[in-house]
Chain A
Amino acid sequence: MKRLNIFIVILLIIAGCRLEAAPEAGQKGVKTFDVRGVVRQITDDRLKATIQHEAIPGYMGAMTMEFNVKDTNELVGISPSDQITFKLVVGENNSWIEGVHFIAHEIEDVTNNTFIIHYQSVELKPGDLLPDCAFMGEDGSTIHLSDFRGKAVAFTFFFSRCPLPDYCQRMSKNFSETRKLLLAATNAPASWQLLSISFDPGFDSPEMLSAYANAYRNGDTNHWMFAVASTNTLSGLAPRLDLMIMREGDNIMSHNLRTVVLDPQGRIFRQLDGNQWTPQQLADAILLAAHKTDEN
């Protein structure tokens, strides 16, 4: 009898452990709500966060209150005035927040207890200085945009696997034509440079770049370089130039077309969007930009 008792006790302990190990999930009486709010205060140990939150339908109205934090790691990098989404879990005897996600820094507007996030554009306009950035060139060396100070620079984006003739391929053909026009122009200064930048760093190695480039350059590398941008460079550059790139599969990217002319000081002189511009328009813009040195 006693042996049986011990056996049962051990079984119960194990069963108990299992119950303990699966607390909130599926337990009756526990409710979970998806909530959005703005962090107002976080304790030093991150165990408690004061959040101004939107109304929680079926539970409570919009208010500012302190919540227990289940996993303090989720608050690393989050600070007061950040907007977050989180799950509020309400059990019988306690409640806490989990699944905290950062949405945006600072909110600007609260109407009807709904936070309106205002998009903050970093997009540059003509006249703005483009912050320097680095690319890898055809020989594997590093190219900085600032290397071209003193020259008018026209750059565009492509990826060598791009299958569409009216996208990347048209950009490369237009650059080729533009170069011909500028080399033939009698009034052209020597201070200009074309740069084609790949946004496919996983595929466009220096060798791929050279092979692709030579198909358009006819063996003449004068005034026209090819380079590839790292994901890091792109994450800074793309939003500034309104360049959009979206992976749609392992080998294919959907993207828009942005061609930019910088003046010799590295400021944006002209933006040619899409694929409707002509080589003559680009050549004219480069000449105007290059002459800005002469004037200054």
Chain B
Amino acid sequence: MSRPASSKESNDERLFLIVAITMSLIFGTGFFLLMYTLNKREKDSGKAAEDSAPHLISPDHPRQLIDFSLTDRTGRSVTQSDLTGKILVVDFLYTSCSLTCPVVNRCMAQIQQLTTNQPDVKLVSLTVDPRDDTVDALAKYSERFGADTNRWLLLTGDKATLYDLIGNSFLAQDLNDPFNYMPGNFTHTERIALVDSHGKVRGYFDGLNDGTATAVVDEINHLRN
């Protein structure tokens, strides 16, 4: 490649190099911006779709229903083994919650109705405020939503047991959120979780989304196949 070059040729070459580098930079930057924009648009449209249609949100890490012993709103003791082999639809509540919990529980009521003749499906509500949500308080609360005592279990009990269950099997914790003083600091208490018949947590649906009840039922049918 090396050969003696005349000064004109080398000047010429230097000029060309400068032009080439400049052009490349322009093209390169343009190309990068184009790819970046396309990529971003793709992400944004994905995000928009995420906001509207309910879909299964994966757990942050593999989660499994752990052992527990709690009390339902009729005073019966309920343990993990009572639910073995059932598909579970699980939500999280406290009866003094004014806005989100009623919306989520209306969705649970809808799911209860849509799965009326499906004995392999049970609904479970776990309170995060057991000091207030006694058996009696839950019984009263469940009447508002027409909960069937055999199909929809509202559970209370020892706070540590409840929090161990919620934290290990269902919800992530955010210890740094300055506006979330829920004991346990659970995040996304508005979600409805779906547990398969092997006790594996398949994922979550947004309990505040209108379409969630039918999406949960679709996913249950999908689980059975």
Q: Which residues of A contact B (CB under 8 A)?
A: 2-3, 6-7, 10-11, 14, 17-18, 34-36, 54-55, 57, 85, 102-104, 114-119, 121, 123, 164, 167, 199, 231, 234-235, 238-239, 242-249, 252, 254-257, 273-274
State whether A6 and B17 are in contact (beta carbons under 8 Å apart), knowing that A18-B32, A34-B62, A121-B159 are contacts in the complex: yes
- Chain-A contact segment, one of B75-83, B93-101, B114-122, B141-149: B93-101
Contact A3 B61 (CB under 8 A): no
| Nearest chain B CB to A142 CB, angstrom units | 20
Of the candidates A54, A256, A273, which one forms a contact with B62 in the assembled complex, judged by CB atoms under 8 Å apart? A54
Majority DSSP secondary structure for residues of A touching B? mixed
Within 8 A of A (CB), among B45-102: 59-62, 64, 66, 94, 96-101
Q: Which residues of B contact A6 (CB under 8 A)?
A: 16-17, 20
Q: Which residues of A contact B94 (CB under 8 A)?
A: 244, 256
Q: What are 6 of the A-B contact pairs (CB < 8 Å)?
A: A35-B61, A36-B61, A121-B159, A231-B179, A246-B97, A248-B100
Give Cα A229–Cα B129 distance, bound, in whole angstroms: 22
Give Cα A123–Cα B181 distance, bound, in whole angstroms: 13
Q: Does B11 contact A (CB under 8 A)?
A: no
Interface centre among A11, A54, A104, A234 (most CB of B within 10 A): A11
Contact B181 A85 (CB under 8 A): no
What does the 1/0 interface line of B98-133 toward A look like (CB < 8 Å)? 111100000000000000000000000000110110
Give Cα A102–Cα B182 distance, bound, in whole angstroms: 18
Q: Which residues of B contact A102 (CB under 8 A)?
A: 175
Q: Which residues of B contact A (CB under 8 A)?
A: 13, 16-17, 20-21, 23-25, 27-28, 31-32, 35, 59-62, 64, 66, 94, 96-101, 128-129, 131-132, 159-160, 163-164, 167-168, 172-173, 175, 178-184, 189
Of the candidates B99, B172, B182, B183, which one forms a contact with A249 in the assembled complex, judged by CB atoms under 8 Å apart? B99
Chain B residue at minimal CB-CB distance from A238: B181
Add 14 more A-B contacts to A116-B168, A231-B178, A244-B96 (CB < 8 A).
A7-B23, A34-B62, A119-B159, A119-B160, A167-B98, A243-B181, A246-B100, A247-B179, A248-B98, A248-B100, A254-B100, A254-B101, A273-B132, A274-B132
Chain A residue at minimal CB-CB distance from B25: A14
Contact A57 B164 (CB under 8 A): no
Of the candidates A103, A239, A255, which one forms a contact with B183 in the assembled complex, judged by CB atoms under 8 Å apart? A239
| Nearest chain B CB to A161 CB, angstrom units | 13
Q: Which residues of A contact B32 (CB under 8 A)?
A: 18
Q: Which residues of B contact A103 (CB under 8 A)?
A: 172-173
Total A-B residue pairs with C-beta atoms closer than 8 Å? 125
Q: Which residues of B contact A246 (CB under 8 A)?
A: 97, 100, 180-182, 189
Give Cα A121–Cα B158 distance, bound, in whole angstroms: 11
| Nearest chain A CB to B46 CB, angstrom units | 14
Give Cα A238–Cα B60 distance, bound, in whole angstroms: 27
Give Cα A2–Cα B2 distance, bound, in whole angstroms: 11
Chain A residue at minimal CB-CB distance from B12: A3
Chain B residue at minimal CB-CB distance from A242: B131
Chain A residue at minimal CB-CB distance from B96: A256
| Nearest chain A CB to B81 CB, angstrom units | 15
| Nearest chain A CB to B162 CB, angstrom units | 8
Give Cα A243–Cα B163 distance, bound, in whole angstroms: 15
Chain B residue at minimal CB-CB distance from A22: B35
Q: Which residues of B contact A235 (CB under 8 A)?
A: 178, 181
Q: Which residues of A contact B59 (CB under 8 A)?
A: 34
Give Cα A246–Cα B104 distance, bound, in whole angstroms: 15
Contact A116 B129 (CB under 8 A): no
Q: Which residues of A contact B101 (CB under 8 A)?
A: 254
Contact A117 B168 (CB under 8 A): yes
